């Protein structure tokens, strides 16, 4: 049932309108056949003739069981999705005259985010006349980027847009793996706890 959304995306057997098709497959040399012969070959093998590249000249087809073909397609899509790592963007807001205590508190958070593999968007918000301190805001963001040098790299230098001056940082390579490691150590700790409880 899960393959339903993929059904109808490919022409199979008699739905293929081309006069001739190129057949490819693991167990055969690619070659061009008249459609009648290609359909006969599929019938002889007790499989379907599936059009996998309709825009090619002639269209490319495969001799394969259609449900097996859909399953393989779904599996490939799933693998590609798994490879795409989801990256969150965490925001950190400063005022133009942020004190050291507040600055260090936010710096600590940013280090945690970068170690988790998340991106950091830090910005200074200028209220009313505080826009006069825009140089101060830029210095603050550059200091922030400098203090995070070990954990992240700057994607975009400070940019002033309206009342906000923003800087973007990405985790350094190797940081993102800590997310997985943290989950692992958590489960290991759980195991240790249960063992000691017994």
- In whole angstroms, give the CA distance from residue 55 to residue 45: 26
**Is 186 within the bounds of a domain?**
no
More confident residue, 102 or 178: 102
Pair 74, 98 in one domain: no
| Rounded average pLDDT over 87-109 | 88
Sorted by sequence, the CB contacts under 8 Å of residue 159 that are 6+ apart come out as 165, 166, 167
pLDDT of residue 118 exceeding 70, the answer is: yes
Say whether pLDDT at 188 is over 60.
no
Number of domains making up the chain? 2
Domain that includes residue 55, residue range:
2-81
pLDDT in tens, 144-185: 999 999 999 998 888 888 888 999 999 987 655 444 444 444
CATH number of the domain residue 111 falls in: 3.30.110.10
Task: Say if 197 falls within a structural domain.
Answer: no
Does residue 187 surpass a pLDDT of 50? no
Query: Stretch 71-96: mean pLDDT, rounded?
Result: 83
Rounded Cα distance, 2 and 4, in Å: 5
Is the predicted pLDDT of residue 186 greater than 50, yes or no?
no
Q: What is the pTM of this model?
A: 0.47
Q: What is the DSSP secondary-structure string of 8-56?
A: TSS-BGGG---SEEEEEETTEEEEEEEHHHHHHHHHHHT-EEEEEETTS
User: Which of the two residues, 132 and 20, has the higher pLDDT score?
Assistant: 20
β-pairing, 48-53 with 28-34? unpaired
């Amino acid at each position: 049932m899960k393959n339903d959304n993929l059904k109808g995306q490919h022409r199979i057997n008699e739905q293929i309108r081309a006069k001739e098709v190129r057949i490819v497959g693991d167990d055969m040399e690619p070659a061009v056949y008249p459609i009648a012969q290609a359909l006969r070959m599929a019938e002889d093998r007790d499989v379907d003739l599936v059009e996998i590249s309709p825009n090619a000249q002639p269209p490319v087809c495969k001799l394969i069981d259609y449900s097996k073909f859909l399953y393989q397609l779904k599996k490939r899509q799933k693998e590609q999705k798994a490879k795409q790592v989801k990256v969150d963007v965490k925001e950190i807001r400063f005022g133009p005259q942020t004190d050291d205590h507040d600055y260090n508190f936010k710096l600590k958070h940013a280090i945690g985010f970068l170690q988790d593999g998340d991106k950091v968007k830090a910005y200074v918000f200028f209220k009313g006349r505080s826009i006069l301190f825009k140089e101060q805001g830029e210095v603050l963001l550059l200091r922030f980027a400098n203090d995070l040098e070990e954990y992240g790299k700057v994607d975009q230098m400070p940019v002033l847009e309206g009342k906000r001056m923003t800087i973007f940082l990405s985790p350094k390579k190797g940081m993102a793996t800590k997310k997985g490691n943290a989950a692992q150590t958590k489960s290991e700790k759980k195991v240790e706890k249960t063992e000691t409880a017994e």
